[in-house]
Amino acid sequence: MTDTDEKVYTVGVIVGSVSEPSLNRRFADALIALGPDAGLEFRDIPIAHLPFYGTQYDTDFPDDGWAFKRAVESADGLLIITPEYNRSIPAVLKNAVDWASRPTGKSSLAGKPVAVTGATKGMISTAVAQNHLKAILSALGAPLVGVPEAYIRVGDEFFDGDGGFANAGTREFLTGFLRQLHDLIGRWAPGAS
C-alpha cells in the first residue's frame, strides 16, 4: 500500500496493439488495477486513429497529432505496453512514437519518464521488441525504468476471473515494476533534486 501522503502521479498508458482481441490490452487493464498500490493513476492514450506520419506534416501538423502530443505532455510519465511482431514493435506503436517526437525540436518524449513492458504467449516474451523500443526512446531523451525488466509470458491461467493477475507473485512483481516508474517520475519531477 502507498503512504497516504505520497504523491500520486498521472501516467499515460499506450498499448501498442490494435488487435481485437488484444492480449496486451488485457495485460494493460490488469496493470492499471495495480495503480493505487504503486501511487499511480492511469489514463489511456489511444494511438489507432493517428495517420501514418510523414515529414509533410511538420509544416501543417494535424489536430490529431497535436491532441496526441498534448495527452503525452500532460502525463507525469508513460507506461508503454508492446506486443512483439517479427522481433520488433508494431508499426502502429512506432508511428505513435514518431508523432510524439515531431515536429523537429518539439518532442513530447524528451525528459518524459517511461516504463516499457509487454506480454505474449511466446517463450521469450517481448524481450526483443522491448529492447528496440527502449533504444528508440533513449535516443529521444526519455528516461527509462531499467530494473526490473518486465518480459511477461502469459499462460492459460495468467488472468483471474475478474481480469486481474491470478498469481500473487506476479501481482507483487508488477506492482514493484510500477513503483519503479513512480520513483523515476519523482526523480524527474520539476523541483526534484
The contacts of residue 41 (CB under 8 Å, 6+ apart) are 8, 9, 10, 11, 35
Cell, residue 68: 496526441
CA 187 to chain centroid: 18
pLDDT of residue 130: 97
What count of other Cβ atoms lies within 10 Å of the Cβ of residue 142? 25
Question: 29: pLDDT confidence band, cut at 50, 70 and 90?
Answer: very high
Question: Per-residue pLDDT tens for 127-184?
Answer: 999 999 999 999 999 999 999 999 999 999 999 999 999 999 999 999 999 999 999 9
pLDDT reading at 16 higher than 90: yes
pLDDT of residue 94: 98
Structural domains of the chain ordered from first start: 9-188 (3.40.50.360)
Question: Per-residue pLDDT tens for 89-129?
Answer: 999 999 999 999 999 899 999 999 999 999 999 888 999 99
Q: What is the pTM of this model?
A: 0.95
Q: Exposed (0-12), middle (13-18) or buried (19+): which is 103, by Cβ within 10 Å?
A: middle
Q: What is the mean pLDDT of the chain?
A: 94
Q: How far apart are CA 85 and CA 82, in angstroms?
A: 9
In this structure, are residues 91 and 60 in contact, taking their beta carbons and an 8 Å threshold? Answer: no
Q: How far apart are CA 25 and CA 103, in angstroms?
A: 29
**Can you tell me the mean pLDDT for 51-80?**
96
